[in-house]
Amino acid sequence: RIQPVRAAPDKISEKVVESIKQAQETCADDPTSGECVAAWDEVEELSAAASHAKQKEKDSDPLETYCKDNPETRECKTFDE
Amino acid sequence: MAACTVYSTQSLSTNCSISTPSKTQLSFHQKQVVFYTTSRRNSKRGSNSGRSYVITCAASDQQTVVIGLAADSGCGKSTFMRRLTSVFGGAAEPPKGGNPDSNTLISDTTTVICLDDYHSLDRTGRKEKGVTALDPRANDFDLMYEQVKAIKDGIAVQKPIYNHVTGLLDPPELIKPPKILVIEGLHPMFDSRVRDLLDFSIYLDISNEVKFAWKIQRDMAERGHSLESIKASIEARKPDFEAYIDPQKQYADAVIEVLPTQLIPDDNEGKILRVRLIQKEGVNFFSPVYLFDEGSTISWIPCGRKLTCSYPGIKFSYGPDTYYGNEVSVVEMDGQFDRLDELIYVESHLSNLSTKFYGEVTQQMLKHADFPGSNNGTGLFQTIVGLKIRDLYEQIVATRAETAVAAKA
């Protein structure tokens, strides 16, 4: 079974750049067309996804991430007594 | 048989009630335990009738309380969700072992599903048709209704996943009926059938000025974005937003309105905010929060000896109003706190907060001091709404248990 993998955040960043370029091109001819509006909507969707991914990365604590995988190590052991 | 769990914790313990019945023979045992249910199915334990333990439990069926949260993308839905799930205790996490790009969040009591998962057109499809995600034509309201209804009735569903990274509709994931289901997204109150399923609804109303300031904060660091691209994106989505998203606020039981401050003349930085909590009157199980005296119109500046405020200070207002023809109560906070622990001073003057102990609002705010909005009205009112939803949930469950008992008697 293939494990699903989350898309890397920098890849989303690249997509944002690409989508902005595309939106600017699409809107050059007709700034009120459905295609133009849909293109900018895509920019918004990708920007939101990029910011969520970035936030998730920022929130993660290196020690906590390590301890999730290695709870038995000395730096991770906690006792409830 | 109904699956039953008896909770010893004080919170959310109301889905099973224990009491001595009035109409049974008390020949053998005085002690009898009765659990009430909505499912009208008793499972009798014990062999002779004299000491029959009637165990009927708050089963998972017909127990789910459904909450709707509407807001535009990038308007702090996820922060609100984190505050809400925190009130119920336990962290909300994506489903384990599933699609890593799943939008669902699950905690012990609450499941949050993102309505983007009900897109009928994927990203390419929308581009071909020239419609935005805000357009009803890009969304499958029939499926949304069917699945939300099924979950409310206690039936697990296979819900599609809209992948925000790839823009494709991924294979579905299993959603089991939780105690509280939150549906968040652009259209929770758009379709009247879905709207009727909601036990409570919230709309996050971010004014254009603030939305612009927030998106600059969010996107300016991002490569490719410029002031022009942010402006263009907001402008392009505006007609659809005004046609399909904004009108939903008339149906909301609570609206959190975020506006630029009035304490600084001509401020458009969007850093200091005026936040209004608009609460509908006469909603079942929901009694609005008030300041000092219910029904009066009050303006209050708490700054002074007991609360440290630097420029521009803090100003509260409260009063009755009408909103889309409905009678509402509005609590407003303009400005921001310098020291979060002094929020207790404000909390002690607000009534009907549905807290379980004195200082719970302040405690919740301190717990998440790093979340956006923790020093202004957005965090305060989101936390209050979270407490109101907990109260609403507990009342609904208690009432259902009572009606089930009445039906049996």
Which of B77, B114, B134, B233 best tests the A interface by mutation, with the highest count of A CBs <10 A?
B233
Average pLDDT over residues B306-325: 87
Strand-pair category, B169-175 with B157-162: antiparallel
Where do the CATH 3.40.50.300 domains begin and end in chain B? Answer: 63-202
Q: Tell me if B183 sits within 8 A of B201, measured CB to CB.
A: no
Give the pLDDT score at B246: 94
The predicted-structure confidence for B95-107, as pLDDT tens digits, reads as follows: 888 888 888 989 8
Q: Are residues B74 and A51, on separate chains, in Cβ contact within 8 Å?
A: yes
pTM of the model: 0.80
For helices B227-240 and A9-29, what crossing angle results, to 10°? 70
How many angstroms away from the CA of B29 is the closest CA of chain A? Answer: 39
User: At B244, is the pLDDT very low, low, confident or very high (cuts 50, 70, 90)?
Assistant: very high
Average pLDDT in chain B: 82
Q: In Å, what is the CA distance from B229 to each residue of A19, A31, B55, B212?
A: 11, 13, 62, 12
Top pLDDT among B74 and B139 is at B139
Interface check B222 vs A, CB under 8 A? yes
Phi/psi of residue B199, nearest 5 degrees: -85, -25
In whole angstroms, give the CA distance from residue A17 to residue B391: 45
Q: Tell me if B11 sits within 8 A of B355, measured CB to CB.
A: no
Q: Tell me if B194 sits within 8 A of B141, measured CB to CB.
A: yes
Q: Is residue B248 over pLDDT 90?
A: yes
The predicted-structure confidence for B153-207, as pLDDT tens digits, reads as follows: 999 999 999 998 888 999 999 999 999 999 999 999 999 999 999 999 999 999 9
User: At B361, is the pLDDT very low, low, confident or very high (cuts 50, 70, 90)?
Assistant: very high
- Residue-wise burial string across B350-378, b where 16 or more C-beta atoms lie within 10 A, e elsewhere: bebbbbeeeebbbbbbeebeebebbbbbb
Q: Is residue B21 over pLDDT 50?
A: no
Q: Does domain B63-202 have CATH number 2.40.100.10?
A: no
Tell whether ipTM is more than 0.85: no
Top pLDDT among B375 and B32 is at B375
Give the pLDDT score at B22: 43
Interface check B132 vs A, CB under 8 A? yes
CB < 8 Å to B219, chain A: 47, 51
The predicted-structure confidence for A25-45, as pLDDT tens digits, reads as follows: 888 877 778 888 888 888 888
Q: Is residue B118 over pLDDT 80?
A: yes
Which of B78, B164, B206 best tests the A interface by mutation, with the highest count of A CBs <10 A?
B164
In whole angstroms, give the CA distance from residue B277 to residue B336: 16
Q: Tell me if B276 sits within 8 A of B256, measured CB to CB.
A: yes
Which of A10, A16, A47 best tests the B interface by mutation, with the highest count of B CBs <10 A?
A47
Of B130, B134, B167, the CB nearest to A34: B130
The predicted-structure confidence for B260-285, as pLDDT tens digits, reads as follows: 998 888 776 778 899 999 999 999 99
DSSP state of B34: B
